[in-house]
Amino acid sequence: MKKNWVKLSLFYVGKSSKNHQIFRAKQWNNKLEQIIKNSIYNEKYEKIGFIKDVFGPEDSPFISIKALPNQSFNPDDKIFTKIS
């Protein structure tokens, strides 16, 4: 099954009490629902974490991202994932 790179259009909200980065989706469609537990990558396609949860309203949900240990995470970076 071929996986395609997708740039996530996100707005940074802040950090949760569990040290997850919380974002709000600027653009969303039903195809993106399958990104839960997917790895996320920076512009250099280096793995920087994974999507822990997607929650909230269906049209613009919140996305919880857990960074990898000892990985620098800049919320202003462009974030990519793969979907099939």
Using a pLDDT cut of 70, give the percent of the chain over it: 98
Half-sphere exposure of 74 (CA within 13 A, CB side): 5
Query: What domains are defined for the chain?
Result: 4-83 (2.40.10.230)
Cβ pair 42, 77 in contact under 8 A = yes
pLDDT tier at 38, thresholds 50, 70, 90 = very high
pTM for the structure as a whole: 0.86
Is beta strand 39-41 parallel, antiparallel or unpaired with respect to 47-55? antiparallel
Average pLDDT over residues 43-55: 92
CA distance 84 to 82: 7
Are 23 and 75 within 8 A, CB to CB? yes
- Specify the pLDDT at position 74: 87
